[in-house]
Structure 1
Amino acid sequence: MPHLPEDTMTAVDARPPAPRPALLLTQYSALLALLALIALNALTTPNFLTLTALNINMTQTATILIVAVGMTYVIATGGIDLSVGSIMAISGALAPLLFLQSGLPAGIGIPLAVILPVLAAGLCGAFNGLLVTRFRIQPIIATLVLFIAGRGIAQVISGGQLINFPDARFKFLGSSVVFGLNIQVVLMLVIVAAAIWALRATLFGRYVIAVGGNPEAARLAGVPVTRTKVLVYTLSGMLAGLAGLITIAVNNSSDANLVGQNMELDAIAAVAVGGTALSGGKVSLVGTLIGALFIQLLRYTLLVKGVPDAAALIVKAAIIVGAVALQARRRS
């Protein structure tokens, strides 16, 4: 077995032998690919090694990584969540509705415009979890329901219109600066740190790994498999809801057709590239961080090189295929 990163958790606790160089290259392929992409841009992209470029890339990475953290937990249990982009759109449509039309004082309306959409997104995630557990629907089919219907729900909420609300009282989620970093970057780092701690230091984290490794054995051992799965889908929904709020705060507007578009692809790619097994039972949140940085930097590189968006989607799909192939090699 190859050496596992420090934060990597698996359903089997065994001491791996020292890996061969080829296995080292396979294990750390995501990190090596990220470093290679950084080197390429440093050599060919003007002003890449500046604080402005770094801030842009970290800010753009934030929403991908926040969603990818929830996706990591879902995939760790052997599931998948195709609905995260649509849930982002629902959250992004609810916020201006509450913010602009509630008639409440700013001191109440603003917190509600943040809290309620995230809670609604969590309910969407819980709905996915119930379809998977109670109705025993395959996760890819269960989450496809909201993947399709969720964006329609967001369009109904918004009336199918672009909603502008450049109000500084709400823009704090997109433009505030804390310790010299944009607020979404700070939120991203806090969420990643909390997710790593929960995975390694809490009973819930151990349940997640056990369910992904062997759900039937976990059930016989007393692990609440159904509750654990519902919780991870709820977490995925809430993080997607937060990412939706960040997106509309950055753009000063909400468009149900565009908020969260293709986010499920970016999140799954980040998780797969980072080394979390798509079959469940093995998870690396540091790997997800590396994967999200790689996905964003790849997007940035293709953009500055003039590559069309359609081609970029093909590249991302190819990356997922390559990541799955590398995972198969690791297991062998």
Structure 2
Amino acid sequence: MAARWLARAGAGTALALLLLFNLVFTEHFVSLQTLNVNLAQVTTIVIVGVGMTLVIATGGIDLSVGAVMAIAGTLAPLLFGKVPGLGGIALAIVLPLAVAWACGYFNGWLVTRFGIQPIVATLVLFTAGRGIAQVITNGNLQTFTNPSFAWLGTGKLVGIPVQVWLMLIVVGSAAWVLARTVFGRYVVATGSSHRAAYLTGIPAARIKRHVYALCSLLAGLAGLITVAVNSSSDANLNGLGMELDAIAAVAVGGTLLSGGYASVTGTLLGALLIQLLRYTLLAHGVPDAAGLMVEAGIIVLAVWLQKRT
């Protein structure tokens, strides 16, 4: 029982303790600048992590999210650079998201049509996707000045960054879908047992395809936010390592890596915990390499607790 509680509520408890530590021992922690820095770092991880949560809930995994971010981020500047006005901005948002959705549907198709293991199926785009993005730009950094598009990553509504609003909308929507809709129940049932779900009339294969598509759609959104924040698109760096950050947030947040259970609020807490831990270690002079080892230890602990539940 204690292990089960820790697996579900551990991230929130650890986050609260870490916040308390920083309030007492970290200089200048209570400042708008510190808040903005940490939120800017964690927003895209949470958005991608929500999609990863849905995939993992069905018993899968998606290694291609970083590459999809690169593809979406590469397409956007090309589009609003060619089409003037707000029409170009709209096209630069809608088309990359559509391409991202198609990438995810392709992943789901490989998994359900050919029975390929998800880690292998998504490895295809993990490898080829970033190469596609690099070919589109010839491996060059794309810089631009477009305040309308940059607003997606740097703008504010009621004093809160737009990207934070997007993160909250994604988390809230996903939590509602999982808790209140038939689709959400089907996602969890598919992860509990694909065969049992199929025998009870649940379209398990279709659910998986839609979940992979949603995961890539959210990765595409994260890619657009990253490009908007930086006012540049780098196919070599956009989304690099994001698949690991997202999986770590999901694991620390308490979602079962074996499928059959999902908590997007847990993923939010897991991402916040990892980001605040990184900030805390850097603020107290701990080398980044040591910080990575501490983060790895937390992930191992989260997985061990899952095994105990």
Normalising by structure 1, report the TM-score.
Answer: 0.89
| Conservation of the 8 A alpha-carbon contact between 1:97 and 1:158 | no
The equivalent of 2:41 in structure 1 is 60
The equivalent of 2:11 in structure 1 is 30
Fraction of identical pairs, as percent: 60
The equivalent of 2:186 in structure 1 is 207
Question: What is the CA-CA distance between 1:310 and the residue it aligns to?
Answer: 4.1
Candidates 31, 38, 45, aligned match of 2:26: 45
The equivalent of 1:162 in structure 2 is 141
Structure 1 residue identity aligned to 2:180: A
Structure 2 residue identity aligned to 1:168: P
Normalising by structure 2, report the TM-score.
Answer: 0.96
CA distance in 1, matches of 2:25, 2:12: 20
The equivalent of 1:219 in structure 2 is 198
Greater percentage in helix? 2
The equivalent of 1:14 in structure 2 is none
CA distance in 2, matches of 1:89, 1:312: 26
Structure 2 residue identity aligned to 1:265: L
Partner SS for 1:28 = helix
The equivalent of 2:70 in structure 1 is 89
The equivalent of 2:243 in structure 1 is 264
Change (3 A) 1:247 1:51: same
Q: Deviations over 1:73-93 (max 9, x none)?
A: 000000001111111011111
Candidates 133, 136, 142, aligned match of 2:112: 133
Question: What is the CA-CA distance between 1:306 and the residue it aligns to?
Answer: 3.8
The equivalent of 1:183 in structure 2 is 162
Unaligned runs of 5+ in 1: 3-20
| Conservation of the 8 A alpha-carbon contact between 1:86 and 1:151 | yes
CA distance in 1, matches of 2:133, 2:292: 24
| Conservation of the 8 A alpha-carbon contact between 1:269 and 1:319 | no
Question: What is the CA-CA distance between 1:26 and the residue it aligns to?
Answer: 4.8
Q: Deviations over 1:273-311 (max 9, x none)?
A: 111000000111111111011121122223323444444
The equivalent of 1:282 in structure 2 is 261
Structure 1 residue identity aligned to 2:195: E
CA distance in 2, matches of 1:75, 1:276: 8
Question: What is the CA-CA distance between 1:23 and the residue it aligns to?
Answer: 5.0
The equivalent of 1:98 in structure 2 is 79
Structure 2 residue identity aligned to 1:169: S
Q: Deviations over 1:189-226 (max 9, x none)?
A: 01111101111111110110110011101001110011
CA distance in 2, matches of 1:288, 1:22: 18
CA distance in 2, matches of 1:22, 1:78: 22
In the comparison of the two structures, how many residue pairs are matched?
309
Candidates 264, 284, 288, aligned match of 1:305: 284
CA distance in 2, matches of 1:274, 1:254: 30
The equivalent of 1:153 in structure 2 is 132
Partner SS for 2:114 = coil
The equivalent of 2:207 in structure 1 is 228
| Conservation of the 8 A alpha-carbon contact between 2:7 and 2:254 | no
CA distance in 2, matches of 1:271, 1:219: 26
| Conservation of the 8 A alpha-carbon contact between 2:8 and 2:266 | no
Unaligned runs of 5+ in 2: none
